[in-house]
Amino acid sequence: MRAEFKIQDGWFFMSEHLIQPDHQDFVFDPMSSDFDRDPYPILANLREHEPVYWWPQARGWFLTRHDDIVSVLADEDRFSPNEVHWEYFIEPAEEVRNHPVLRIRDSSILSVEGAQHARIRKLAFKALSRRAVRTIQPLMTSLIEEVMAPLRGRRECDFVTEIASPYPIGVISRLLGIPGNSDREMRFKKLADAVVVAFNPMIDEATQLRSIHLMEGYLAEIAEWMEEKRRKPTDDLMSHLVQVEHEGDRFNTDEILSLISALLVAGAETTANSLSFGMLELLRHPDQMKRFKEDPSCRFNAAYEMVRYEMPGRFLRRYAKKDTDIRGKKVRAGQAVYISVASAQRDPLFMPDCDQFDITREPRDLSAFGIGRHFCIGAQLARLEIEIALGHFLASFEDIRLACSFEDVPFRSNPVIRGPASIPLLFESVA
Ligand code: HEM
């Protein structure tokens, strides 16, 4: 059989199979529009033929098998999330080295290690769980009603821009105690946009610097507000963060600003995209939609299945701290290792029917939210947000359908996050 090559959006396809990764014509581009829409055939190809793939354009290893991913994420002695260990790490320029925003970014829970990380995480958990037990559920319910209010009486909406994007950032903002529809809430949303860019090493330096300068003003306002809470605490996450104490230890101002930034980086866009993917997959699978609507008890696990089945993150990054070996490949100290959690969730060796979307599935593990010491601290929160937002939306509107074909749903182009840019819906309001 003769293989015929076709080039489409930068990808090479053969008539019968995807080109194997060891072929000279193989091109791997997880930023391409095909990958945005459906990364899973490419990931399956790598998983099968080259699970520890040298990705030349990114100068690092790309991992796709579940067991390799688990062992790298669990091993902080060999692999670090902190980019100072990267062989291509560039020290920030002299004039910005002591910039307060860089200080905050570099001491983020997402990248610090060892005792420093354990300490921040302990305090963060304590502050979050105080708030969590008491008031999260009613807060989420009233917020989704508020976000949906402008849709009443209408017969169409864009699910991404009107529901999925504003909701998770609203949850973080209300948790912190920021009053709804306030000037402070509007400025907090602007901080969220800036912080995602400023914390992203894959975005060009000039854009990052602009965002760092923008963040400075917003963070100064939050620091002022933090002082108000120190003087007069109330029952909200910001007050808990300033008060929380563990064995005589407390957060300082920079650490609280850093943690709030990390919650925004890790918790807003991820959950927004999972909500969007969740809605799309329910529409694509009417039997699952029926089950989700009829059986509220399945919704918390369903939320995990939505995250597992369509991962919003492209990959996690780790840097080798010493020379090591992964599946026979020599990984040098200083090299980057890109970890495809999306691929791990679709590894048939981990889960034989992994390509099936089944909201009644008991999660086998929660590795879509990471592994080891950096396991997501917002995992339960995210699942609850998805359960509540989709549950309320589907109960408030009926005859919900896509206003375009699935193939025409546009995807966003973002170097870190994957998800639909817009989901145009048609529906009738429930009387
Ligand atoms: C569907 C939504 C979400 C997904 C898929 C997700 C996924 C993840 C993953 C994979 C990690 C591990 C990162 C690593 O090992 O480098 C992580 C960490 C983290 N997540 Fe989430 N997350 C979600 C929602 C949230 C929410 C709602 C919050 C909080 C508001 C949050 C806060 C965090 C924080 C602070 C970390 C860092 C923890 C640490 O380094 O100790 N995430 N998340």
Domain ranges of the chain: 1-61, 65-429
CA-closest candidate to residue 357, choices 405, 289, 409, 419: 289
Which CATH superfamily is 65-429 part of? Cytochrome P450 (1.10.630.10)
Give the bridge partners for 326, in sequence order. Answer: 329
Taken as a whole, the chain contains a residue count of 431
Torsions phi, psi for 397 (to 5 deg): -130, 150
Sign of CA dihedral 355, 266, 394, 422: negative
Calculate how far, in angstroms, residue 263's C-alpha sits from the geometric centre of ligand 1. Answer: 8
Which residues of the chain have a pLDDT value below 70? 1-18, 130-134, 431
Record the tokens describing residue 419, joined without a space: 């998800």
Calculate how far, in angstroms, residue 378's C-alpha sits from the geometric centre of ligand 1. Answer: 6
Give the bridge partners for 338, in sequence order. Answer: 62, 317
Query: What pLDDT is attached to residue 276?
Result: 98
Q: What is the number of other CB atoms lying within 10 angstroms of the CB of residue 181?
A: 7
Please tell me if the CB atom of residue 278 comes closer than 6 angstroms to any atom of ligand 1.
Answer: no
Please tell me if the CB atom of residue 264 comes closer than 6 angstroms to any atom of ligand 1.
Answer: no
Calculate how far, in angstroms, residue 171's C-alpha sits from the geometric centre of ligand 1. Answer: 15
Query: What pLDDT is attached to residue 3?
Result: 33
Q: Which of 125, 376, 380, 381 to mutate to test the pocket of ligand 1 (most atoms within 8 A of CB)?
A: 376
Please tell me if the CB atom of residue 341 comes closer than 6 angstroms to any atom of ligand 1.
Answer: yes
Contacts within 8 Å (CB) and 24+ apart, 183-186: 184/221, 184/225
Element (H, E) at 261: helix 253-267
d(CA 253, CA 248): 16
Torsions phi, psi for 103 (to 5 deg): -60, -45
Q: Which of 72, 178, 270 to mutate to test the pocket of ligand 1 (most atoms within 8 A of CB)?
A: 270
d(CA 88, CA 98): 21
Please tell me if the CB atom of residue 374 comes closer than 6 angstroms to any atom of ligand 1.
Answer: yes
d(CA 156, CA 163): 12
Residue with tokens 């100290």: 333
Calculate how far, in angstroms, residue 375's C-alpha sits from the geometric centre of ligand 1. Answer: 7
- The atom of ligand 1 lying closest to the CA of 311 is 5
Q: Going by C-beta distance under 8 Å and a sequence separation of 6 or more, which residues neighbour residue 400?
A: 283, 394, 425, 426, 427
Calculate how far, in angstroms, residue 265's C-alpha sits from the geometric centre of ligand 1. Answer: 9
Nearest CA to ligand 1 atom 36: 376
Nearest CA to ligand 1 atom 24: 267
Calculate how far, in angstroms, residue 379's C-alpha sits from the geometric centre of ligand 1. Answer: 7
Calculate how far, in angstroms, residue 67's C-alpha sits from the geometric centre of ligand 1. Answer: 20
Calculate how far, in angstroms, residue 156's C-alpha sits from the geometric centre of ligand 1. Answer: 32
Please spell the DSSP secondary structure of 104-153, one letter per residue: HHHT-TTT--HHHHHHHHHHHHHHHHHHHHHHHHHHHHHHHHHHHGGGTT
Nearest CA to ligand 1 atom 17: 376
Calculate how far, in angstroms, residue 270's C-alpha sits from the geometric centre of ligand 1. Answer: 8
d(CA 259, CA 128): 11
- The atom of ligand 1 lying closest to the CA of 312 is 5
Cβ density class 33-60: b for 16+ within 10 Å, e for less? ebbbeebbebbbbbbebbbbbebeebeb
d(CA 144, CA 405): 27
d(CA 23, CA 39): 19
CA-closest candidate to residue 54, choices 369, 328, 322: 328
CA-closest candidate to residue 45, choices 12, 73, 7, 69: 12
d(CA 263, CA 110): 10
CA-closest candidate to residue 251, choices 389, 109, 148, 89: 109
Nearest CA to ligand 1 atom 8: 369
Calculate how far, in angstroms, residue 257's C-alpha sits from the geometric centre of ligand 1. Answer: 17
Query: What pLDDT is attached to residue 12?
Result: 36
d(CA 110, CA 258): 10
Nearest CA to ligand 1 atom 14: 374
Query: What pLDDT is attached to residue 431?
Result: 64
Residue with tokens 């400025």: 187
Residue with tokens 């009053």: 179
Please tell me if the CB atom of residue 377 comes closer than 6 angstroms to any atom of ligand 1.
Answer: yes
d(CA 294, CA 285): 15
Residue with tokens 């979307």: 357
- The atom of ligand 1 lying closest to the CA of 262 is 35
Q: How far is CA 342 from the centre of its chain?
A: 11
Residue with tokens 């989901």: 423
d(CA 397, CA 313): 29
Record the tokens describing residue 193, joined without a space: 């946009």
Sign of CA dihedral 222, 224, 230, 231: negative
Please tell me if the CB atom of residue 315 comes closer than 6 angstroms to any atom of ligand 1.
Answer: no
Please tell me if the CB atom of residue 174 comes closer than 6 angstroms to any atom of ligand 1.
Answer: no
Please tell me if the CB atom of residue 340 comes closer than 6 angstroms to any atom of ligand 1.
Answer: no
* HSE-CB of 174 using CA atoms within 13 angstroms: 21
Record the tokens describing residue 343, joined without a space: 């691929």
Q: Read off the pTM.
A: 0.92
Q: What is the number of other CB atoms lying within 10 angstroms of the CB of residue 151?
A: 19
Please tell me if the CB atom of residue 386 comes closer than 6 angstroms to any atom of ligand 1.
Answer: no
Q: What is the number of other CB atoms lying within 10 angstroms of the CB of residue 301?
A: 17
Nearest CA to ligand 1 atom 7: 369
